Every structure is written in structure tokens, then in C-alpha cells.
Amino acid sequence: MITLKEYCFLVLLCILFSCRKDSVETTITNPNIDPKRLVETTVSGLVLDEQGFPIQDAKVTVGAIYSSSTVTDQNGYFKFTGFATKENGVIKIEKEQFFTSYVNISTNAKDTSRVKVLLRNLGSGTQIRGIEGGKVEVKNFGSVEFEPESFLDSEGKIYKGQVKVFFRGIDPFDQNLAKYIPAEMLSINANQDVQRLQSYGMVDVIIKAENDQELTLQKQAKLEIQVPQQQINSAPSSMPLWYLNDSSGFWVEEGRAFLEGNKYIGYVNHFTPWNCDTIVNSFIVEGNIHVGTYHPEVELIYEDEVFGTKSILYPNTSGYFSYRIQSGGYGKLKIINDCDEIILQKEIPTVNARLNLGVLNLDEKYFSKISGTIVDCGFEPIKKGYVMIKLNDNAIPIFISGDQNGKFDAVVSNCHGFDNAYLIAYDALNNKQSKIIEFNSSDQLDFGLIRACDQSYSEGIYMFFEDGSHKILEPAVVDLIVKADSLNRREVFNIYAVDSDGQGGIAHYNVQLFRTRISANIFSAWDLSWTVNASNNFPYCNLIQNNSRFQILSLSEIKGEFVNILIKDASLNCGVINQNEIKKNVNISIKAKIN
């Protein structure tokens, strides 16, 4: 039973989420969780199939009390925010024709968790008749056996037709286990203490009707889970069965399995991933990854030399990572960059308490700084965008999110030099992307403005106006309206340079019309200052006045009338990404209105 206060809290959160204009959907799934245990958390990641190809339109859900969900884009990429419990966050990734996967994340309102997930294909499955039941077996992993008339359809009626059974075993010693394992091997007891589990075998089963609707069980199914060869000598005669709670991300004990030969046998009445586990002592290892002031996206691999297990984890956007390790073991924590190089190793001894490794500083020689701003067709910053970088055609892509102003500033692995890297910028809200921008390690990696736009501009220098219109600057007069009062008023306008590839740069021009107060009611003559705020790197724009001064053509002391100023015989020189300078001769006429 939830209290009125808690109910109001839930309603408020629903209202907040309903106001968002992104693709996140939110529903209440567990109203019995205390709202005080909730924290808003952001997660981004990449979803791939077993061959390493991106999976589009996979549904990604985060949260315990809320199911806040989004879908992956054409690159398999996603980023969104939802509510999860403070104790343990979990995201659920599901897609037709794939087994569902679950990943634990650290819940922190300030930082973004980063994950990479492999989804396992369902395959064709095995068909049995619902009215007869039957047994489905997978070599080296085990089997599942159903009694006659075991299945119920979505209306709760006995289903007697053809049943498609999808069965896959999971080897605890699989080197890719950590990339598609259904969540970490964690459980929680009645005292809310988190415990580490040691697996002696795991299976995942899905049952569907002919029309692909999922079925449920009205009779228990018999599970046989084969014990890995490495553990057969230490396997106890019986152990608990555990299933994964897909709301909390924790494994829950239900039933018991008994060892017969090299298989554990038990009975279950529902299907999520099932596991034969024992509770083991554990400790948390944590730390922070730094490259100077940056926190790169790297892969952390822990290989336990005693138990033979392998774990993979990723630091969040502040570089923080934490992982629960089985006590009694010994191993090394390896930090791997995007070039599959081990750039740092750290020995992890067994301790009885939390082990904080502190700041792990990575050598800057392995990384290159990359920056830029993602803008739309009108050169306005994109609030929800990212860039995808591939160091070569076979590399797993690197994703860097832009901030609310479209800016990104990060470090990426340089692989000791690369010749055929490329970058694409994406507008996640409007589903648009930039052209492919090729670069190599010797290039300047400040990309300036990157237009995620399907509209092309020819090479030239443009002026863009507030209504989104634009015109190319030719040797002609460009009229600007600069508001001014009797003392001091500043206005800003922008000039852009666009190269033949459609990319460009921006220079901000601050125009100040002023006169100084000489005494109480006496002012100096009107004057004008012109300040350029532009990067020294490509792209840039500079106004060259050719030793001419601003000419004040007319002067008025009457409000509503104009002061006319002319910048005569100036030239505008803009360098762009291809490092060819575009030059235009311009006369700029400024009309300053007296307020």
C-alpha cells in the first residue's frame, strides 16, 4: 500500500516526464517501492548482435518503479534518463528474435553510465505440441521438459497448438559472458544486503505460440542444467535455483536443484534466466579513470586467475567505476582502449572491505583530443546530438554526446596513428546526420561547426539571420541594424564560412556604438568599435579593414532615427576545414538606431 504522499510523488514524476519532448516513454511498474530510494539516472550505450553489428530499434528500459524506455537508432546507440533504485540500477534490452539482456548500472544523478551489450539471437527454436508436451535439449548445456497441456495463452486458456521453444545455455567461463550476461551475479537478502553469486550453470528459455505471442506455464517445467567441466569436482550435491528479477536486476532464490551425474535438476513455474548458484563472500573494487582532465570511454577487464572468470565493465562519464569481486581470488584489472591495447594493468588482491584504487591516470600518448559543435541546417546548436567516430571500417564505433549547446570535447584512442578514420554527427531529435568527414591522426581535430543537416550549401561566406534565412556575401553592401542608446549598446551578429564539403566555421562579431561622457551633459562624438571573437584554429573568419576607419556618414540625436556608419574597402577572409582560405571584399553599412 502506498501512502498519499508517495502517490502524489508518483503523479508529479509522471507529469514531469510527460512534458519531455524526446522519445522516452514512462510507465509505473512497481508502486510498492519507496520513492525515497529512487534516483534519476542517465545511461548511454551501444547494442550489438553476436557478430558485432548494430541493432536498430531495440527497446531499452531503465528503472524499478518506472519503466522509462527508448529505442536504439541506426547505429545501435541510445541515451536517455529514467528512475532507478539507489541500491542497484538495471537496464533491460529487448528486440524481436533476440534473447532479452539485462545490465546493472551505477545510479548517479550527476553522471551518465556507459554500457555495451551483445544480444544473443533466438535462432529458429524447437517446436513441440502443446497438448502433448515434450523435451528440448541443447548439447553441453542441458534441457527443458514440459508435461502435456502445460501452456496458457494470454487469456489464461490452455494452449494446445504448436509451441516454439527457444533454449540457450550460458557458460560461466565464456570469454564473452560479461558482454551478454543477464545482469551481474548479484542477489539481495532480507536485510537488503547485496551478495555475490557463483554460477554453476545458467539457461535462458522463451516459449511462444504459433502467432509469436508469449505463453506462460500452468504446470512446472523440468530443467536440467549441465555443470561446466571446470566445476564438476567442486559441485555440491544440491544448491538453490535463482531467477532474474527484471525490475530490480537482482537474482531471486526460488526452489532447489539436485546434482545427478554432471547435471543439476530442478523444477520451475515461470521463465526468465535461471541459474544454479551459491552465495560467496565478496568485496567492491572502485576507482576513477583519468586522461588529464578527461574521462575516456575505455573497457575494464578483470580476469580472476583463481576462479577462471572474466568480467567487463565501463567507467561512467566522470571516470568512476565499481564492481563486486568474489573474495579468495586473485587477478588483474586491465584497461583496454579502442585499439584493443592494454594501456594499464592493476593487480587486485583479496581484501575484506571496499578497495578504492583512487585515480588511475592513463598516459596521454594513447589518446587524441577531439572537439567541435553540432549544429542544424541554420547553424543553430543541436541540444540532443552526438558524433560517431570510427578509427577504421572494422572498429567498433566511438560515441561522444554533445551538450545542450551542441559542443563536444573529449579524448579518443589514437592507435599510434590512423589514416582512414571518419566522423558523422547526428541530430537525435530530428533524425538527421552530417556528411562523412574523413580525417587522420595528423589532422587538427577541432572540427568547428559540424552540420547535421540534409540541406547543402555551396562554398562561400554566408550571413544568417534570426528567421533562419541566409545569403552569400558578395562584393556588395550588407546592411546591419545595430540598436544603440545615447550612451552604450552592444549587438552581436554572426558570419559563417562554408567549405565545399558543406562544413563551416563561425566568427562572432561584437559591434559597439558608443560615445563617452565628457561632463554632465556633454558627450564626445559617436564612435564605433568592432571586436572579433573567433578561434585561432580552423575554421575562422577575420575582417581585414585595410587600414581604413569607420566612417560616420550621418548623425542624429533624435530617438527612432539612425546613425549611419560605413566600413569601406574591407575584406572578409575565412579559413575552413579544408584549410583553403575564402576571401570576399565587402563594404558593410551599419545603421545604428537611437533608442
Q: What is the pLDDT of residues 50-96, one digit of tens each?
A: 888 999 999 998 765 446 788 999 999 999 877 665 555 778 899 99
Q: CA 438, 440, 442 angle in degrees (round to 5)? A: 140
Residues 137 and 263 in one domain: yes
What cell numbers appear for 192 in the block?
A: 537488503
Final residue of a structural domain among 78, 110, 142: 110
Average pLDDT, whole number, for the chain? 75
pTM across the whole model = 0.73
> What is the average per-residue pLDDT within 540-566?
47
pLDDT given at position 64: 55
Same domain, 250 and 293: no
Q: Are residues 270 and 295 in the same domain?
A: no
- Please tell me which residue, 519 or 181, carries the higher pLDDT value: 181
Percent residues over pLDDT 90 in the chain = 37
Tell me what pLDDT residue 521 has: 56
Q: Based on the domain organization, do 143 and 228 belong to the same domain?
A: yes
Same domain, 518 and 528: yes
Q: Is pLDDT at 46 greater than 70 in this prediction?
A: yes
- pLDDT, residue 333, reads 93
Closest of 286, 283, 330, 323 to residue 308, by C-alpha: 330
Lowest-confidence region among 397-401, 487-491, 553-557: 487-491
Q: Which residue has the higher pLDDT, 555 or 164?
A: 164
Whether 119 maps to a domain, the answer reads: no
**pLDDT at residue 517 is higher than 90:** no
Report the pLDDT averaged over residues 449-473: 55
Q: Same domain, yes or no, for 550 and 578?
A: yes
The yes-or-no verdict on residue 588 having pLDDT over 70 is: no
37, part of any domain: yes
Q: How do residues 375-393 score in pLDDT, each as one tens digit?
A: 887 778 898 899 999 887 7
Q: Are residues 584 and 482 in the same domain?
A: yes
> H-helix or E-strand containing 4?
helix 4-18
Alpha helices by DSSP H, listed for 157-225, are 177-180
Cβ atoms within 10 Å, residue 249: 25
Rounded Cα distance between 317 and 295, Å, is: 6
398 lies in a domain? yes
Question: Greater confidence, 434 or 463?
Answer: 434
Q: Which of 86, 110, 134 is the last residue of a domain?
A: 110
Residues 266, 293: one domain?
no
pLDDT confidence bin for 209, thresholds 50/70/90:
very high
Pairing of strands 562-575, 540-544: antiparallel
Task: Determine the average pLDDT of the residues in 478-488.
Answer: 39
Identify the top-confidence range among 123-127, 248-252, 590-594: 123-127
Give a yes or no: residue 116 inside a domain.
no
Percent of the chain clearing pLDDT 70 (strictly above): 66
pLDDT tens-digit series, residues 334-349: 999 988 899 999 999 8
CATH of the domain at 379: 2.60.40.10
Evaluate if residue 533 carries a pLDDT over 70. no
Under DSSP, is residue 246 helix (H, G, I), strand (E, B) or coil? coil
Helix (H) or strand (E) holding 543: strand 540-544
- What CATH number does the domain containing 179 carry? 2.60.220.30
315 in any annotated domain: yes
Classify 231 as helix, strand or coil.
helix
Q: Total structural domains in the chain?
A: 5
User: pLDDT tens digit string along 295-318?
Assistant: 999 999 998 888 888 888 899 999
Mark whether 395 and 406 lie in a shared domain.
Answer: yes
Is residue 308 in some structural domain?
yes
Range(s) of the domain holding residue 240: 126-280
Q: Mention every residue, 6+ apart, whose C-beta is less than 8 A from residue 365.
A: none
Average pLDDT over residues 163-190: 81
Residue 319 lies inside a defined structural domain of this protein: yes
192 and 232 assigned to the same domain: yes
The confidence score (pLDDT) of residue 279 equals: 92
Q: Do 272 and 145 belong together in one domain?
A: yes
Confidence of residue 456 (pLDDT cuts 50, 70, 90): low
Whether residue 270 sits in one domain with residue 131? yes
Per-residue pLDDT tens digits for 244-261:
887 777 899 999 999 999
Condensed to tens digits (0 to 9), the pLDDT of residues 142-169 reads 999 999 999 999 999 999 999 999 999 9
Boundary (domain end) residue, out of 433, 451, 469: 451
pLDDT tens for residues 383-424? 889 999 988 777 778 899 988 889 999 999 888 887 888 999
By CB atoms closer than 10 A (0-12, 13-18, 19+), residue 291 is buried
Residues 6+ apart with CB under 8 A from 135: 143, 144, 145, 146
Burial of residue 47 (CB within 10 Å: 0-12, 13-18, 19+) is: buried
Tell whether 485 is covered by a domain.
Answer: yes
Per-residue confidence at 471, pLDDT binned at 50, 70, 90?
very low
